[in-house]
Chains A and B, each alone.
Chain A
Amino acid sequence: MGRYLLRRLLIAIPSLLGISVILFTVLALAPGDPFGELATNPAVPPEVREALRVKFGLDDPIAIRYFRWIAAMVHGDWGFSFASRIDVDTLILQRLPATLFVIGSAQLLALLIAIPVGVLAARKPYSIFDQISSTLAFVGFSLPTFFTGLLFILVFSVQLDWLPFVYRDVYETGWRWYWENFRQAIMPICVLGLFQAASMTRYVRSAVLDVIRLDYVTTARAKGLGERVVIVKHVVRNALIPVVTLVALQMPAIFGGAIVTEQIFRIPGIGSLLISAILANDTPVIMAVTFVFACLVVLFNLIADVLYGWLDPRITLG
């Protein structure tokens, strides 16, 4: 197990390097200039601008800049945000918890919906319940998150006035603080969670269908086990193995959805940080945030593979 993990980590490194090369080249080839703002500012003389460019090495060849960046990255120096005047790693660490909280809760909500519904649908395929749930699943993943977000705001904030429609700073203390934070997170979590639940329900259904007709399930029934025990202990445990992988492989899509929801609900997470950085041409922040996204995706792929081997004894790691 330990050796397998080590090997997988070593395989992940060239992928991350490849991703960073692609991202860096795109950014370096782009016509945008982080000092564009300084260029139009008459208070900054051209000599100072030139000195700054030389200091940050912006006129060196791409390859040299790449190696300088990667070396700094390894040393933990993620650069300095030109727009926010703060170190990039501090900025990202400030924003990351909000994003991870929303994504994590949304995933949890999706699993809580998808597993029961998928299992029930697969127990009686083509029944009324199955047809309704599969139609709803189609509707669910055809509704883009930006539209559901607006619909939720329209219904729950504008019409019913139950929930606040954008994030704001919470000044209450004690339990009120948790409650207010939770209240403003409800809508983004539901938007993301329902979208994920829709596609996950279909995965769970087909995974359960693959298992439920196997002989060992018939044996379990023939032994006289109750239906509940057969489903929970025999069927679901095995059916969920491929689902684990799919959940991890869905992560890039979830990050995409998170960027959209963060923008709609003005969540101070790394998705909205990325958009504001792009609009401000803040190269170090753009580079760092996209790279963090890529790292998270590679990390979750790794977790999926390791979990898969751990859950399924038929797969030997070596």
Chain B
Amino acid sequence: MDGSTLVSPSAEVIAPQRPARPFSPWLEAWRRFRRHRLALASTVVLLLMILAIALGPFVWKVAINDIDFAARMQTPSWSHPLGTDDLGQDLLARMLYGGRISLAVGLSAMFVAMTLGTVIGATAGMSRGWVGPALIWLTDLFLSLPALPLLQLVIYLFRDSLKAAFGLEGGVFVMIVVVIGGLRWMPVARLVRAQFLSLREKEFVEAARALGASKLRQVVRHILPNALGPVLVAATIDVAAAIIAESTLSFLGLGFPPDIPTWGRILYDAKDYLDIAPHWALFPGAAIFLTVLTINFIGDGLRDALDPRKVM
């Protein structure tokens, strides 16, 4: 920036010594992200896990509900790489299937939370009348709702009617996503509002306003892109939080029904057999832990990469 300011109109622009390297904010962010070694390693691990979950069922073609009483609660072996559960069902197949659901719930709930949070935060941040304070009061109200009890309550109470409307898997899925997302938008809304309050007074927004840009254009073209960094970081960490929320619900027996083996549900089934079949609980627990840990590290790396004030 400093180098491009001309001393006088006639001053010659000095060509940079290095050949101009293609520059974009995203490339710069990637350069900074790579410096965070744990985040980079986490990205690789997470991508491998996603690949396994996506392609695994095509390679490992054992049905998730193949009951085999001859092979109950077996420890890992060649025919069952992760062992079997109390009905002799193959744990690898169930884990691969459950991983798809856990990740899908995490991503979809994050999208719900981000959309709600951004819209509410942006509205609160742009309004100059009574709408802003009212929305902030609502946000604070939701923040003091006891999230986990309410989640359990809503899911338990409405499970049957939604099952009727969307089918067994679809109903529970839609409900869990909406409820988890609907109870996690508040931090995003506060973040977005804080960003908007400071950005909307900046000169470049004022310039856009002076040029007659509509409010929507100011928000979408000028303010939102500048507020995106922290939102992206929050979104990443939110995926991890949503995965934990879903697993917690399933672990308490209030999430997906037993025939849909999400990681939390497998843990719930395994917890009474800890003394005879510890592997049954260890594998899904480790999968949840690894996913959440890698996502958190990636979030940390993104925080470093997307903060332009941080010198790296």
List residues of A whose CB falls within 8 A of some B CB: 15, 18-19, 22-23, 26-27, 30-32, 135, 138-139, 141-144, 146-147, 150-151, 153-154, 158, 252, 255-256, 259-260, 263-264, 274-275, 278-279, 286, 289-290, 293-294, 297-298, 301
Contacts and interface: CB of A to CB of B under 8 A. Distances in A.
Interface stretch (B208-216, B223-231, B285-293): B285-293
Given A22-B145, A158-B278, A256-B147, 19 more contacts: A22-B141, A23-B150, A26-B150, A30-B158, A138-B293, A142-B289, A142-B293, A142-B296, A144-B244, A144-B248, A144-B289, A146-B264, A147-B289, A150-B271, A255-B149, A264-B271, A278-B152, A289-B149, A297-B144
B144 A298 contact: yes
Nearest to B276: A158
Contacts of B288: 144, 147
21 contacts: A22-B145, A26-B154, A32-B156, A138-B296, A138-B297, A144-B244, A144-B247, A144-B292, A147-B288, A150-B285, A154-B274, A158-B278, A260-B148, A275-B254, A278-B153, A289-B149, A290-B149, A294-B146, A297-B145, A297-B146, A298-B144
A27 B157 contact: yes
A154 B272 CA distance: 11
A52 to B, nearest CB: 21
Interface residues of B, number: 43
B247 A154 contact: no
A293 B149 contact: yes
Contacts of A294: 144-146
Contacts of A15: 137, 140-141, 144
A293 B146 contact: yes
B146 A255 contact: yes
Contacts of B143: 252
Contact of B296 (A141, A146, A259): A141
A158 B274 contact: yes
B146 to A, nearest CB: 4
A228 to B, nearest CB: 32
Q: Majority SS of interface residues in chain A?
A: helix
Contact of B254 (A138, A150, A278): A278
Contacts of B289: 142-144, 147
A260 B251 contact: yes
Contacts of B152: 274-275, 278
B274 A150 contact: yes
Contacts of B140: 15
A255 B141 contact: no
A260 B157 contact: no
A286 B152 CA distance: 11
B161 interface: yes
A27 B153 CA distance: 8
A22 B144 CA distance: 12
Contacts of A297: 144-146
A32 B145 CA distance: 22
A265 B165 CA distance: 36
A267 to B, nearest CB: 14
A144 B141 CA distance: 26
B150 A290 contact: yes
Nearest to B161: A31
B160 interface: yes
Contacts of B275: 158
B114 interface: no
Nearest to B143: A252
